[in-house]
A and B are shown apart, each in its own frame.
Chain A
Amino acid sequence: MTTEAEPAPAGAAGPDDAEVGRRFAAGEEQALAWAYERWAAQVHGMAVRAFGPGPDAEDVTQQVFVSAWTGRAGYRPEQGPLPAWLTGVCRHKIADTWARRDRQRRATEAAVAELNAAPAGGPAPVDSTVADRVLLLGELDRLGQPQRGIIELAFFADLTHTQIAERTGLPLGTVKSHIRRTLERLRDRLEVDGAALHA
């Protein structure tokens, strides 16, 4: 199901997007170059929105394409367009960067506290939302369709269940029950593993 595919910009002659996706999955090197021509600006734009323009956004953009290429076995062309998959990879990289910064922040604070021989007030607090995001994005990857497409439209496209039903052609009741079941599944994952993570 298409949730977030953008058409290739005009002027990019070559095979259509679906063909680029199939060749990418098959490991054809030219397909990585085409994917970059068509969707690097979209990926970089997301990274700029998260980190502002500069080295961080550029690093995330590089990581997305390197990771997508080395992990191309995880891309199934029949399950959705390549740009939507790249967007998902980009979400992971943004969340990972936040989590890494949070770890660095805590390590720095711990080192400073040690230097100042401050009374141990326990470890610095974990920003649990940062860890929650990494965990939940991983769980989203495990959802089948149409559940995943539905919940992504709710989370990332800010659509109401009525709009999602219109967009997907699924009955209203089906959309509502998928939303409910997926939210409960994600909640369970958080409450079981999130608790262990933050312990």
Chain B
Amino acid sequence: MPHCTPEDLGLAALGEPLADDEAAHLADCAACRGEVARLRRVVDALAVPELAAPGPAVAPPPGLWAGIAAATGVAAAPRADVVAASAPAAGPVPDVVPEPLPAPLPAEPAGPMAPVVPLRSRRSRLLLAAAAALVAGLGIGAGAVALATRGDDGVPVAATVLDPLDGSDASGRAEVVERADGTRVLQVELSAGAPTEGYYEAWLLDESVSGLIPLGVVRAGTEEFELPAGLDLGEYPVVDVSVEPLDGDPAHSGVSVARGLLDA
């Protein structure tokens, strides 16, 4: 009985059944089985359910586009109703059990989504850099800053540079310091000319820029804001400085002048 053809060995590696006499030879021939095993390493790596052709569509959550817009600077936006209609909102239960995570991730908040505050679409160098790092597979946040431990002031736990957003002259850095009593303080060093009208305000945002925590009024120089106990910086990692008009409206104006991503 001659050896199996290379074509048959390829099909066997893909798990296709062979004709009876080919299969019988393969069962008896170590050389042919060795060839199949070498080819099968390729098949085993790629022919896995997670990489298969798209299965059930699952509509992405509403806040997802904001990060793409920020990273690409694209001003056009998809229509939320069309996206929502592109798949059943509650996706089917995946039939693949995901691998356990190496570290538990913060659970998604249950209940209704935070109201989306429409921030004016603008190119964020920061999120662009963060996306570039992800694309390069580095998995590090943008604007990582060397931390100087200052004994008396507590321990720095996260920091970022604040990059100016389009057309603004504002920049600076922000650092979260944990005090001996466990409270955390955000220190913002801002370098910026006084706004032509209104005032600067500091915020913490989530990465989709849909959840916002107002911290307070900030001027050029250094300001400190105590963070609410229990606030998860992993969930609100973006430090944002906005220009707010004196109009009595506590909501974000949508005009941000500088931003940074805490490298917690």
Interface residue ranges, A against B (CB under 8 Å): 3-4, 6, 9, 11-12, 29-30, 32-34, 36-38, 40-46, 48-59, 61-63, 65-67, 69-70, 83, 87, 91, 94-96, 98-101, 104-105, 108, 129, 132-133, 136-137, 140, 154-158, 160-161, 176-177, 179-180, 183-184, 186-187, 190-191
Contact = CB atoms under 8 A, between A and B. Distances in A.
A177 B99 CA distance: 36
Contacts of A100: 137, 139
A45 B82 contact: no
B76 A66 contact: no
B58 A66 contact: no
A14 to B, nearest CB: 9
B85 A66 contact: no
- From DSSP, what is the main secondary structure of chain B's interface residues? loop
Interface in B1-49: 6-7, 9-11, 13-14, 16, 38-39, 41-47, 49
Interface stretch (B62-70, B143-151, B218-226): B62-70
Interface stretch (B86-94, B167-175, B186-194, B243-251): B86-94
A63 B64 CA distance: 11
B135 interface: yes
User: Sorted from nearest, which 9 A-B pairs have the closest CB atoms?
Assistant: A41-B87, A41-B57, A180-B10, A50-B50, A52-B98, A41-B86, A33-B76, A45-B58, A132-B45
Contacts of B39: 183-184, 187
A9 B75 contact: no
Contacts of A183: 10, 13-14, 39, 42-43
